[in-house]
Structure 1
């Protein structure tokens, strides 16, 4: 799985088990990502709200906004689909 052209951002929180699972999954898949904790940074919380999202985790890959631990959609987005 190549992420050379994909910029991956994951919006997370402190006590979010799905966030932990998602970060573990991405790390196991050798996906480099930027973590943005919405609980410790108001700007990141605002960004999430401006996307129309109110839950975490949210994975942003290019134009894709993926809510939750959805490995199928994440794989497709990383593949450029």
Structure 2
């Protein structure tokens, strides 16, 4: 009897594990994750301000607060665009096909979410581009 119970327990555990793995794989196929960084032409979302970085956010978003803190520590000029307080910013967020916050625009890069390493890479690339443009004048 003990052998039967152990065998049954093993089979049930294996079946449950198979179900979990299958469910995860099917979810990834049905709902693929958006890439963290998307390259594109985002100049139309910028205005004449001196802000190098645009951050679409909302007050209640903890990762938006972390992004703001990170950009401040890096000395980056940024503009926060609260999608809850402006229909224009909400429309822009939707045009960008935003699915999560923060949505960060730095040069030709859109960063979906709070990824400090990607923010640093984009800031460095933007800084290099700005220096090249100044040198070309």
For Structure 1 versus Structure 2, the TM-score category normalised by the shorter chain is 0.7 to 0.9
Using the TM superposition, give the Cα deviation of residue 7 of structure 1 relative to its aligned residue in structure 2, in angstroms. 2.0
Partner of 2:56: 11
The count of corresponding residues between Structure 1 and Structure 2 is 77
In the alignment, the residues of structure 2 paired with residue 58 and residue 17 of structure 1 have an alpha-carbon distance, to the nearest angstrom, of 13
Higher relative contact order (CA 8 A, sep 6+): 1
Deviations 1:4-63 (A, max 9, x none): x97210111020011111101110111110110000001101101101112210110011
**Structure 1 residues not aligned, in runs of 5+:** none
User: Higher helix share goes to which structure?
Assistant: 2
* TM-score (norm. length: structure 1): 0.86
Correspondences of 1:52-67 after superposition (within 5 Å): 52-67=97-112
1:29 counterpart residue number: 74
Distance 1:73 1:22 in 2: 11
TM-score when scaled to structure 2? 0.53
Whether the 8 Å CA contact 1:6–1:78 is kept in 2: the answer is no
Residue of structure 1 equivalent to 2:88:
43
Q: Is residue 20 of structure 1 aligned with residue 65 of structure 2?
A: yes
Separation (CA, whole Å) in 2 of partners of 1:75 and 1:31: 10
How big is the alpha-carbon RMSD for the aligned residues of Structure 1 and Structure 2?
1.7
